[in-house]
Structure 1
Amino acid sequence: MRNRFPSLSLSSYGSGWSANRRVATVAAAVAALLALAASAALLTGGGNGHQAPDSTAPVPTGSPSSSETVSKLSSGSGSVPKPPQIAEPAAYAKAAAQMLWSYDTRDTNRDQQLLGMRAWMTTETTYADWASVFGQVPTPVLWSRMADQDQHASAHIIEGHYPGAFKQALADDPSAITEAYIYVVTVNGKQTLGWRHGGGGAEERAVTLAVQCRPNNDCALAAIAPSVTQ
């Protein structure tokens, strides 16, 4: 049997959590916007011609442990791009989604991947839900198995938009945004995978992100948000 390995991708991370717990770090300022979330499950893309690996070991669903904090990560962020200087929420969300769906185990170890992803997060701890992003990265053992097969992925972003529920909530209460300046953006795209000996495939992706964009400041990622009405 061929040895195949699962991709680093958005999963059902936190699907068993309540909606209140999922958005706890941002709810104080944007409860009126995110309370319209229809489900506690993350948006995920369906397979479309993806030559999925045989092994289906799950992406970890726990929060970072004390032994896996950012302070203990290795220096450098490998192939993970640095966060762009963008002040428009939808544009930043599209860049963040591309970062989340891209990786290269050939030149980036797991610690470097985490460190690079952490740099995209808002520094305002009240609103930063690092656990929702951390949970997208496979366990150290699984990452090592992926690296053994030179697994890598790139992403093509198709579009990003403000979900209808967010736009309606903002129209109903424009002032609700002005404390934390958290915007909800849904991004759609495609992830292309490759591994040793020419293996590969493609998979459609969708994710809803909470992005903080304060006036006169660059945007930053706040969380992978619960799914909301398209």
Structure 2
Amino acid sequence: MQKRFSSLSLSSYGAGWSGNRRIAIVAATVAVLLAVATVVAWLSGSNNGHRVPDTAAPAPASSTSSSEAAPKPAAGSGSVPHPPRIAEPVAYAKAAAQMLWSYDTRTTSRDQQLAGMRAWMTSETKYADWASVVGQVPDPVLWSRLADQDQNATGTALEGHYPGAFKQALTEEPSAITKAYIYVVTVNGKQQIAWKNGGAGAEARAVTLAVQCRPSHDCSLAAIAPSVTQ
């Protein structure tokens, strides 16, 4: 029986980063959050149990360059939905999670997938961690092998919330959020996967996102963090 590639991630994102960089990217300018010890542990990351097809050799963690440039808009976005006009952090994070958990190698090239995901990112480069999004997408060889199997997936966000450490930090220093308006949101849901010859499966998913929602502006994605369900 063929195994499936359960999500667009080859390995636990951020595993090789220093603790300081993890904190700086996810918490951005929420200074008080940087001092909360629980957040350091929360951002340490863990293996998410991703699987790949039997026909594909596992790619090394460095197979997708963290400095890979986003495809130009002309590449199109295939099956990737356009970012919604949402000004509420949790609602936007839930929509972004569904986008990240969904893909269709039958109709969408890897460049189109990346181009579509790039449209969800904040335009403020100081806070945009594009590498964390690129890290969710298989390398070109693996994407091609998934396409050979007609693999596709649909994500559903069932629940979203602010993790306890983030809420505590905001309670202690409410004004800190006004520097960059970056909110940390955990989304729980499921991913349904299908592939050639009637293959199908489903599994629970969880992701923590850094979402930027400035007043009077639609939200945008700033970064993808390791999974957390608290």
State the alpha-carbon separation in 1 of the partners of residues 7 and 228 from structure 2: 23
> Helix, strand or coil for the counterpart of 2:189?
strand
- Indicate the residue corresponding to 2:111 in structure 1: 111
- Indicate the residue corresponding to 2:199 in structure 1: 199
- Indicate the residue corresponding to 2:223 in structure 1: 223
Identity of aligned residues (%): 67
> Helix, strand or coil for the counterpart of 1:217?
coil
1:1-230 superposed matches below 5 A = 3-10=2-9, 11-25=11-25, 27-33=27-33, 35=36, 36-42=39-45, 53-54=53-54, 55=56, 57-58=58-59, 60-61=61-62, 62-65=64-67, 68-71=68-71, 75-226=75-226, 230=230
Change (3 A) 1:63 1:75: same
State the alpha-carbon separation in 2 of the partners of residues 125 and 146 from structure 1: 32
Paired residue total: 224
> Helix, strand or coil for the counterpart of 1:126?
coil
Unmatched runs of 5 consecutive residues or more in structure 2? none
Amino acid at match of 2:41: A
TM-score w.r.t. structure 1 length?
Answer: 0.87
1:103-150 residue CA offsets vs partner (Å, 9 max, x unmatched): 000000000000000000000001001101110100000000000110
State the alpha-carbon separation in 2 of the partners of residues 92 and 217 from structure 1: 12
State the alpha-carbon separation in 2 of the partners of residues 173 and 143 from structure 1: 44
1:30-65 residue CA offsets vs partner (Å, 9 max, x unmatched): 242255242444477668xxx974356247545444
Amino acid at match of 1:9: L
Q: Give the Å deviation of 1:80.
A: 0.1
1:41-95 residue CA offsets vs partner (Å, 9 max, x unmatched): 4477668xxx974356247545444xx4125575210000000000000000000
1:143-188 residue CA offsets vs partner (Å, 9 max, x unmatched): 0000011000001111000011100000000011001000000000
State the alpha-carbon separation in 1 of the partners of residues 60 and 76 from structure 2: 23
Q: Give the Å deviation of 1:29.
A: 1.0
The RMSD of aligned alpha carbons is: 2.5
Change (3 A) 1:101 1:12: same
Unmatched runs of 5 consecutive residues or more in structure 1? none
Deviates more, 1:25-34 or 1:167-176: 25-34
Change (3 A) 1:76 1:147: same
State the alpha-carbon separation in 2 of the partners of residues 183 and 128 from structure 1: 13
> Helix, strand or coil for the counterpart of 2:147?
helix
Amino acid at match of 1:167: K
Amino acid at match of 1:87: A
Amino acid at match of 1:126: K
